[in-house]
Structure 1
Amino acid sequence: MSEQLNEFSATAITENQLVPWPRVAAVAAMVSFSLPTFITGLEVSQGLSAIDAVWALVWGSVIILIIGAVMGAIGANSRMSSYLLVRVAFGDLGASLVNIAFAISLLGWFGININLFAGAVSRLALEVWGQNLPTIGLAIFASICMTITTIVGFKAINLLATLLVPVLAFVTFLLARSAFETHTLDEIMAVEKTATLTIGDGISAIVGAIIIGAIILPDITRFVRHWSGAVYAAIIAYMIVQLVVMAAASLAGSVSGKTDILDIMLDLNLGLGAFAIVIAGSWVLNSLNPYTTVLSIKATFPGLSSRWLAIGLGAVGVIAALLNILDSFVTFLFYLSVIFIPVAGVIIIDWALIRPAAYTIDTLENNRPINVPGFIAWAIGAMFAVLASEMLLPTLTGIAAMDAVILAGIVYTILAWRNRIEVSS
């Protein structure tokens, strides 16, 4: 089992581990079917007029697609996880800091999703069946199931996703269809709402909720046979499934006037569908969180046991959820996520322009300790992202996360360009 969970955390994927790209796309799509995606689509639609919400959903998905497709293609080409890519881009010492930040963030989101899962299932059980299930027991049980899935590794996550995607696609279809049973599309688009967001705010909400998954997409696209499969997986996950899921939530929310996705589904007699989305979507999403956390820690500390690391991370996540310390942790996680978003800008530029030949597993045998230009670019991008998020600096695109990625890429290009031929040769 430890060989399974190791999942080539310190090495490249071998030929016999490759799978057809639709199987990888199923995993990426399952993340888009998760409860947070429905909630994001609903929140954006509630804060914008119908036409502005459409633009926000489309452009937010396009941005995520671009970043996810490029990062996924890099992972497919190199056969390395996102954390090994960080080692190539930032050096061994630099990668330790970045990967620890990744691990803390992903572990925190594991605990938050456990909390969300337990509360939602407890409420649905009471509403649908009149059963009062304790949230503590649900949280512990969910954590155990998700940790076991993590321990088995990508094959278990992939099998789970492949089986559940059709179910969740059907539930999403029912949710969207329910909106058209009482209203036409023209009527839905004509619903008057007081705008509390700008289109830029809506796009930022979508990008902020999904972009971390796009940055770490190499963790699963490294299993595809060709880089084009990674692009196809990104298209299906971000421009089809994610867009449809958020649109379905938006349509149902516009018709019902309610702001809680579970309230909406219960009103539409989709209680069992709500169970499917909460349980299935959360299971795959929260199996991926500790899975990628293990990859990040193993990439930095390869001597640790993968099995016990996964068990320990699962225990820490559920304890944090049970102690209810995650409410105050959410703000910290938000800023942590914003801070490492510019990592994508450095990796993409390093791979595309500065050192394309360096993105092989052989580079890690004599890897540099730290890439100073990369760290400077990351620091500038991260500082800008934080200040822009606090509205202390204006944004060029209206989306702080995108500005940070672009800024980090530009700064890194300027600082590293003179070494391009020397390093790439």
Structure 2
Amino acid sequence: MADSLAYDADSRTPVDPAEAVSGFQIGIVLIGISITLPLMYSAGELAQGMGLRSAITATLLGALALSLMSIPAAIVGASTRLSSYMIIEHTFGYVGAKFINFGFGVFLLGWYAVTAELFGRTLFLAASELTTLALPEWSYTVLSSLIVTVTTIYGFKAIDRLALVAVPFLLLSLAGVVMLSLRQVAFTELLDLPGSGAIDMPTGISAVIGAAIVGVVLTPDLTRYARTTGDCVVASFVGQGGGMCIAYIVGMIPVLVWGELEPMTYMLLMGFGGLALAVLVFATWTTNVINLYSTALASRASVPLGDYRSVVIVMGIVGTAAAIVGISDQLIDFLILMGLLVPPIAGIYFADFYVFGRRDFSANHLEQRPAIRFNAVAVALGAGLISAWLYYAGASVTSIGALDALLLSMLAYTLVEWLASRRKR
């Protein structure tokens, strides 16, 4: 345990290559992150709003986009062996990175709180059906958050081990849920069911991307443990692409068959009982550990006060308080907003790494860089705001808001840096 605690004791230093793992292992962790309650709720809302055929198309396109965006981020992590927050510090400057990482911390803490709220609600429903306990819903949110916080304290090794046990169990159980649902209604019949029309294709794709876009930008947090570039590609397609497809498709079918959006409710209708509780606990436990882990890394990079363990505990308490207040009512809107504001961060460090070849991530080089790189910060902020304005105005180049935001930030930053270098010469 002492070793695994030390494993993440300082998120500001490169990972020892001796600690590297395979891309498939990282992909398994990413699948574990994908299969969680917020995504199952989101999947159900997409299926009801679009119809199953269109919702599956939106999922496949969104998952492909996530995989392709994840690969360059993963390679940066494997090349530098640094967390995404240290990469951002090199890209935006020491002070500039504090603003970026603070924004990430807010998004991640919000995602943690949404998941914790749904986790607590699921435990509350299960206890109401399976036991005679009459505890308030908030008490289950506190209990689940306590379990997540304790696991996160022990860092990536604990997360890796949890995922290796939980994910195979999850996949088998959810496959059983889908198969039993399809005994009630044939898959071809489900494909022909019309949606309510409340969600169009671009919105559906954007929701799928938004659900995982923060994870894409923060992919280096996990791929800094990857052995090779090939492992980065495997992790991206297995984890980001495969994980999202599995999470969304298995979340759509039971909702349409049973007419219930609550996973715990339709699993109880199917007679799963305790197994349903185990499935949903494992699914949400794995994901919220990663959410809190990344929140802690962002917090330490933004305001490096306290050690890793202390920051995890504080962020867990704050996130739990937000969950008890209740912030999950606007889930789809939250996902779309993340998909518009977060990609420009990746666009900037992609351009720095791949276009300008700025690959010196040593501590000495960081000391020589300006405290704040105004071009990087200004373009990231501007591209995010412009992309959001274009999306809500109904204008798009690729019809996928997150991809527009990524490409706009890369092109704008490349142009600004090129003009700045010409001016210097």
Is the TM value for this pair above 0.5?
A: yes
Paired residues for 1:9-28 under 5 Å: 9-28=11-30
Aligned to 1:147: 149
Once residues 196 and 140 of structure 1 are traced to their aligned partners in structure 2, the CA distance between those partners, rounded to angstroms, is 34
Residues 133 and 162 from structure 1, CA distance in 2 versus in 1: closer, same or farther, beyond 3 angstroms? Answer: farther
Aligned to 1:215: 217
Residues 205 and 213 from structure 1, CA distance in 2 versus in 1: closer, same or farther, beyond 3 angstroms? Answer: same
Q: Does 1:94 align with 2:96?
A: yes
What displacement does 1:104 show? 1.9
**Counterpart contact for 2:375–2:416, Cα < 8 Å:** yes
SS of structure 2 residue aligned to 1:358: coil
What displacement does 1:256 show? 2.6
Aligned to 1:174: 176
Residues 388 and 422 from structure 1, CA distance in 2 versus in 1: closer, same or farther, beyond 3 angstroms? Answer: closer
- State the Cα deviation string for residues 254-286 of structure 1 (Å, max 9, x = none): 323333333322222233343133211221221
Once residues 334 and 171 of structure 2 are traced to their aligned partners in structure 1, the CA distance between those partners, rounded to angstroms, is 33
**Counterpart contact for 1:30–1:165, Cα < 8 Å:** yes
- State the Cα deviation string for residues 67-87 of structure 1 (Å, max 9, x = none): 222211211111111111111
Q: Does 1:388 align with 2:390?
A: yes
Residues 201 and 366 from structure 1, CA distance in 2 versus in 1: closer, same or farther, beyond 3 angstroms? Answer: same
Q: Does 1:353 align with 2:355?
A: yes
Paired residues for 1:182-197 under 5 Å: 182-197=184-199
What displacement does 1:335 show? 4.6
Aligned to 1:285: 287
SS of structure 2 residue aligned to 1:181: helix
**Counterpart contact for 2:33–2:287, Cα < 8 Å:** yes
Aligned to 1:415: 416
Once residues 199 and 403 of structure 1 are traced to their aligned partners in structure 2, the CA distance between those partners, rounded to angstroms, is 15
Residues 86 and 421 from structure 1, CA distance in 2 versus in 1: closer, same or farther, beyond 3 angstroms? Answer: farther
Query: Higher mean Cα deviation, 328-337 or 391-400?
Result: 328-337
Residues 213 and 273 from structure 1, CA distance in 2 versus in 1: closer, same or farther, beyond 3 angstroms? Answer: farther
Residues 136 and 220 from structure 1, CA distance in 2 versus in 1: closer, same or farther, beyond 3 angstroms? Answer: same
**Counterpart contact for 1:354–1:419, Cα < 8 Å:** no
Q: Which runs of 5+ in 2 are unaligned?
A: none
What displacement does 1:300 show? 3.5
Once residues 139 and 5 of structure 1 are traced to their aligned partners in structure 2, the CA distance between those partners, rounded to angstroms, is 28
Aligned to 2:36: 34
Once residues 262 and 322 of structure 2 are traced to their aligned partners in structure 1, the CA distance between those partners, rounded to angstroms, is 25
Paired residues for 1:11-410 under 5 Å: 11-302=13-304, 304-322=306-324, 324=325, 326=327, 335=337, 338-359=340-361, 363-389=365-391, 391-392=392-393, 394-410=395-411
- State the Cα deviation string for residues 222-271 of structure 1 (Å, max 9, x = none): 11111221221121123223202211222222323333333322222233
SS of structure 1 residue aligned to 2:352: helix
Once residues 376 and 116 of structure 2 are traced to their aligned partners in structure 1, the CA distance between those partners, rounded to angstroms, is 35
Once residues 154 and 250 of structure 1 are traced to their aligned partners in structure 2, the CA distance between those partners, rounded to angstroms, is 31
Once residues 60 and 128 of structure 1 are traced to their aligned partners in structure 2, the CA distance between those partners, rounded to angstroms, is 37
Once residues 94 and 303 of structure 2 are traced to their aligned partners in structure 1, the CA distance between those partners, rounded to angstroms, is 11
Residues 220 and 151 from structure 1, CA distance in 2 versus in 1: closer, same or farther, beyond 3 angstroms? Answer: same
Residues 54 and 311 from structure 1, CA distance in 2 versus in 1: closer, same or farther, beyond 3 angstroms? Answer: closer
**Counterpart contact for 2:50–2:197, Cα < 8 Å:** yes
Q: Which amino acid aligns with 1:68?
A: S
Residues 3 and 274 from structure 1, CA distance in 2 versus in 1: closer, same or farther, beyond 3 angstroms? Answer: closer
What displacement does 1:13 show? 0.7
**Counterpart contact for 1:114–1:139, Cα < 8 Å:** yes
| RMSD, aligned CA | 2.7
- State the Cα deviation string for residues 151-171 of structure 1 (Å, max 9, x = none): 111111111111111110011
**Counterpart contact for 1:160–1:284, Cα < 8 Å:** yes
**Counterpart contact for 1:78–1:361, Cα < 8 Å:** no
SS of structure 2 residue aligned to 1:210: helix
TM-score by length of 2: 0.90
**Counterpart contact for 2:117–2:328, Cα < 8 Å:** no
SS of structure 2 residue aligned to 1:192: coil
Once residues 40 and 273 of structure 1 are traced to their aligned partners in structure 2, the CA distance between those partners, rounded to angstroms, is 22
Residues 37 and 277 from structure 1, CA distance in 2 versus in 1: closer, same or farther, beyond 3 angstroms? Answer: farther
SS of structure 2 residue aligned to 1:370: coil
Once residues 263 and 5 of structure 2 are traced to their aligned partners in structure 1, the CA distance between those partners, rounded to angstroms, is 40
What displacement does 1:332 show? 7.9
What displacement does 1:297 show? 2.4
**Counterpart contact for 2:99–2:302, Cα < 8 Å:** no
What displacement does 1:27 show? 1.4
SS of structure 2 residue aligned to 1:132: coil
Once residues 350 and 423 of structure 2 are traced to their aligned partners in structure 1, the CA distance between those partners, rounded to angstroms, is 19
Query: Higher mean Cα deviation, 54-63 or 185-194?
Result: 185-194
Query: Higher mean Cα deviation, 112-121 or 127-136?
Result: 127-136
Say how many residue pairs are matched: 421
Q: Which amino acid aligns with 2:409?
A: A
Once residues 17 and 422 of structure 1 are traced to their aligned partners in structure 2, the CA distance between those partners, rounded to angstroms, is 45
Q: Which amino acid aligns with 1:182?
A: Q
What displacement does 1:34 show? 1.1
Once residues 38 and 422 of structure 2 are traced to their aligned partners in structure 1, the CA distance between those partners, rounded to angstroms, is 44
Once residues 393 and 252 of structure 1 are traced to their aligned partners in structure 2, the CA distance between those partners, rounded to angstroms, is 32
What displacement does 1:361 show? 5.4
Query: Higher mean Cα deviation, 303-312 or 164-173?
Result: 303-312
**Counterpart contact for 1:26–1:165, Cα < 8 Å:** yes
Q: Which amino acid aligns with 1:396?
A: V
**Counterpart contact for 2:26–2:239, Cα < 8 Å:** no
